[in-house]
Amino acid sequence: MHGQGQRLVFTQTLTQAPLHNGRPPGDAAEPSAADPEVFPPRHGLAAAIEVLKKERNAIVLAHYYQDTSIQDCADFIGDSLELSRKAASTEAEVIVFCGVHFMAETAKILNPGKTVLLPDLEAGCSLADACPADAFADFRRRHPDHIVVSYINCSAAVKAKSDLICTSSNAVHLVQQLPADRPILFAPDQNLGRWVARESGRELTLWPGSCIVHETFSEQALLQLRLEHPEAEVIAHPECQQHLLDLADFIGSTSKLLQRTETSAAPSFIVLTEPGILHQMRRRSPGKTLYEVPGADGCSCNACPYMRLNTLEKLWQCLHTMAPALELDEEIRRQALVPIERMLAMSA
């Protein structure tokens, strides 16, 4: 498989980022880069971020699972595939990635010459953590004849050991393009892998990982919501467990769930994915009613704890200090680029 991907060419050079004021209009005190603890007042943060974006020639990319205040400051909001495409094509010198670590890594893999900032470096992912690179390499060694397809929710080191990267938007489409006579390994999400196997008709050997957010929904609460709102369509992300997917009327990636709320004639939706997406659903379909499904412990807080580590304050601060910036081992970056470029070429 190596070498089949279409190579992308980057001609961007990183210029020295200018010093800035980055303060809301009329605010007298100016923070300096040496004084990163000084924040603009909360009500002026969005305006201050806009100033800094211009000064830094920065673009803010945000995942649908980010806090609404961050989504409202973003230049582009999307799911993993859309964000990867945007990261690959942006002319900005600085990419601020409001998402989790593996997403910012992907942006850096695609843009080695640019500064990629993540507001909180601790914003990890349970799924990526469930697939350590050494154990994954061992898994791969035990299946030497397999094509290795990895969901984008994995570390750069795991991507570097993969033949093809996919997202939940394109996984079925990509797996269907693989040679019929080659067995396939799929990592790290077993729930997504099972769904891809069913939809594509291909047998997949699965890595046993899962997402803590999509595994917490209560089946009992879902059944109760369906009883109370029989007119509502149940829409689910394929990272959910099988017994929940069996109850869904529509299964799709985050962006496909968003589209579904716009195009379906249903007046209401019971949504089985991270609730950050509800912000865009409400914006695009203001007349529709949305119901969140609580977790099995009765708690209605299925927000991804990693995604929510990013805050508006940290977004401002990282633009202000130009840190923390993603750094990657060049050899791993180069190896990880191959299956990502292959994904972009195959899903074009």
Contacts of ligand SF4 in 36-95 (CB under 6 A): 65
Could you check whether the bond before residue 188 is cis, i.e. omega within 30 degrees of 0? yes
Site for ligand SF4 (CB under 6 A): how many residues?
Answer: 13
**Quick check: 236 binds ligand SF4 (CB under 6 A)?**
no
Which runs of E-coded beta strand occur in 64-110? Answer: 76-78, 94-98
**Quick check: 165 binds ligand SF4 (CB under 6 A)?**
no
> How far, CA to CA in Å, does 80 sit from each of 137, 207, 253?
24, 20, 9
CB of 214 to ligand SF4, least distance (A): 6
DSSP 44: G
**Quick check: 212 binds ligand SF4 (CB under 6 A)?**
yes
Q: Identify which of residues 239 and 341 has a Cβ nearer to ligand SF4 in the complex.
A: 239
Q: Identify which of residues 149 and 213 has a Cβ nearer to ligand SF4 in the complex.
A: 213
CA distance linking residue 187 with residue 185, whole number of Å: 7
**Quick check: 125 binds ligand SF4 (CB under 6 A)?**
yes
CB of 192 to ligand SF4, least distance (A): 9
Pick from 48, 213, 234, 277 the residue near ligand SF4 by CB under 6 A: 213
Q: What is the dihedral of CA 175, 248, 128, 113, to 10 degrees?
A: 70
DSSP 5: S
Options 2-10, 172-180, 225-233, 300-308: segment touching ligand SF4 (CB under 6 A): 300-308
**Quick check: 151 binds ligand SF4 (CB under 6 A)?**
no
Q: How far apart are the first and last CA of the chain?
A: 18
Options 120-128, 246-254, 256-264, 335-343: segment touching ligand SF4 (CB under 6 A): 120-128
**Quick check: 274 binds ligand SF4 (CB under 6 A)?**
yes
Neighbours of 233 (CB within 10 A): 19
> Are residues 275 and 308 in contact, defined by beta-carbon separation less than 8 angstroms?
no
57 Rama class: left (phi>0) / alpha (psi -120 to 50) / beta: left
**Quick check: 306 binds ligand SF4 (CB under 6 A)?**
yes
**Quick check: 272 binds ligand SF4 (CB under 6 A)?**
no
- Please, which residues have CB within 8 angstroms of residue 181's CB and are 6 or more apart in sequence? none
Q: Identify which of residues 271 and 304 has a Cβ nearer to ligand SF4 in the complex.
A: 304
Give contact residues for ligand SF4 (rule: CB under 6 A).
Answer: 65, 100, 125-127, 153, 211-213, 274, 304, 306-307
